Amino acid sequence: MIKPVQKELYAVVGNPVNHSLSPLMMQTAFERMNHQAVYTALQLDEPREDFSLLHRVGFKGLSVTLPHKEQALQLAEEVDETARIIGAVNTLKRGDAGWIGCNTDWKGSNAALISVSPLKGKRGLVLGAGGAARAVVYGLQQEGAEVTICNRGEERGASLARTFQCAFIPLKDLGESLESLTFDLVVQCTPVGLAGDSGEAFVPPRLFHEGMMVLDTVYRPLRTPFVKEAMKKGCTVVSGLEMLLQQGVEQLKFWLEIPTVHEEVIGAMREALQKAVT
């Protein structure tokens, strides 16, 4: 039996994870909280065996990222109802017999958006139909927003829209739909715009209008072509980095079983992230 002593062990697990900002953000938090813990990044190739191994080695908590969020849902001993509805687990906490899973992505996107304006009654457009989109759609609906999904792949998009009982627009028809539709907020949940990807001409520029709330889940670079276009049109831009931060705050609460994280700790986490991406 192996047991960590002196410090608790935490990690972000995914593949690839070498560029993850989670170790920086979480280590900053643990240090500010004076909590004796080590948080690292681990690349997992064989999730079935690796999740079990990490449990046996004594890890206390894991942040799960692409492409293992669905597998984490399958492999956890216990999963909360929300993560089941979303279909993905991004957080695992050590239980006696195995991992206990939940999803904090939806809380992250909600907290980031609500810091700007309440969501109730807002007409929201979600671009994408993968794991991030599912979490965002769930979060928006929890706050009483009216959601429309727009995705490149029609089958996947329509299926997500059926699950959450909302409208669906194929990406190729978005321009035409904007002749009769307008949205109060847009959340971009595809990898388009990630460093190295031009992301140009992804959505029609007339999607954006003054006063609209825009969240791009991609935060590297901070100003994606999508964000630049939104800023040009006078939208209120919410950073994907804030979503990352807020979902991380929720992970800390879940792992450490604490009701809140001190504002001073959150501020230090935000500062570390901002320094890393600018």
Q: Tokens representing 256?
A: 């450490």
Identify the three-state secondary structure at position 223: coil
- Smallest CA-to-CA distance from 138 within 106, 105, 183, 161 is with 106
- Shortest Cβ 17–ligand NAP spacing (Å): 12
Which residues, in sequence order, are CB contacts of 52 under 8 Å at separation 6+? 75, 98
- Shortest Cβ 109–ligand NAP spacing (Å): 7
Which residue lies nearer to ligand NAP by CB, 13 or 192? 192
CB 179 within 8 A of CB 94: no
Interstrand relation of 167-170 and 146-151 (parallel, antiparallel or unpaired) = parallel
Which residues between 4 and 63 bind ligand NAP (CB under 6 A)? Answer: none
Which part of the chain contacts ligand NAP (CB under 6 A), choosing from 10-18, 127-135, 174-182, 226-234? 127-135
Which residue lies nearer to ligand NAP by CB, 76 or 218? 218
The amino acid that residue 185 corresponds to is L
66 binds ligand NAP (CB under 6 A): yes
For residue 51, CA distances in Å to 2, 55, 93, 94, 257 come to 15, 6, 11, 11, 22
CB 150 within 8 A of CB 168: yes
131 binds ligand NAP (CB under 6 A): yes
Chosen residue from 191, 223, 268, 277 binding ligand NAP by CB under 6 A = 191
Which residues between 104 and 123 bind ligand NAP (CB under 6 A)? Answer: 105, 108
Catalytic site positions: 69
Residues at the interface with ligand NAP (CB under 6 A): 66, 105, 108, 128-133, 151-153, 156, 171, 189-192, 194, 217-219, 240, 243-244, 247
